[in-house]
Amino acid sequence: MKRSVARFFFLFSFLLFSLPVRPAAADSPLTSTDFHTHYDEAAVVAARGGRMTTQVLNFLLGRAPTDQKAACVNALSWQRDATGNAQAFVRALEGRHRKQGRALTPSALSTDELVVLGYLVALHDYFQLSPLEKAKGGLWAAGPKELLAEALKRAPKDFTVALVAALIAVQNTPDDDWCQVYTGVQAVLDRFPEADRNLKPAAVKAVMTYIGAYKKYCPLPAGELDPGFLEAYEMVAFDGGLAVATQAGVALWDLGKHQLMSVHKRGITTSLVVHGGRLWAGSAGAVGRWDGTAWKDYLKVDFKRQTGSYRLAVDAAGVLQVHHGRKWWRYDAKADRFIESALAWDPYHVAFTPSGELWGVDFLKGLRRQVAGAWLDYALKSPRYPGSDPRRLVVAADKRLWVMDFADGFFRFDPATDAFVSAGPKVDKAFDLRVDVARKRTWYLHYTKGVTLEEGGKTREFDLSAQKYMRCLHLTAGGDLYVGGQTALVRITKVKGAWVVNTHVPPKAP
Which residues make Cβ contacts (< 8 Å) with residue 10, sequence separation at least 6? 26
pTM as predicted = 0.67
The helix (run of H) or strand (run of E) holding residue 170 is helix 159-170
Three-state SS at 181:
helix
442: amino acid identity, one letter: T
The 8-class DSSP code of residue 52 comes to -
Give the lowest-confidence range in 58-72, 304-318, 408-422, 433-447: 304-318
Domains belonging to the chain, first-starting first, are: 7-217 (no CATH), 227-346 (2.120.10.80)
Write out pLDDT tens, residues 179-191.
899 999 999 999 9
> How many whole angstroms separate alpha carbon 110 and alpha carbon 188?
22
- Give first-to-last CA distance, the chain, whole Å: 34
- Inter-CA distances, 411 with 193, 385, 390, 422, 426, Å: 52, 8, 9, 4, 10
pLDDT score at 128: 87
> How many whole angstroms separate alpha carbon 115 and alpha carbon 275?
59
The 8-class DSSP code of residue 427 comes to -
The residues pairing with 342 across neighbouring beta strands, listed in sequence order, are 327
Share of the chain above pLDDT 90, in %: 80
Would you list the DSSP string of 56-77? Answer: HHHHHHTT--HHHHHHHHHHH-
Residue 353 pLDDT greater than 80, yes or no: yes
Contact between residue 462 and residue 455 where contact means Cβ atoms under 8 Å apart:
no
Write out pLDDT tens, residues 203-248.
999 999 999 988 878 887 777 898 899 999 999 999 999 999 999 9
> How many whole angstroms separate alpha carbon 279 and alpha carbon 292?
8
> How many whole angstroms separate alpha carbon 17 and alpha carbon 406?
10
Confidence of residue 16 (pLDDT cuts 50, 70, 90): very low
pLDDT score at 125: 85
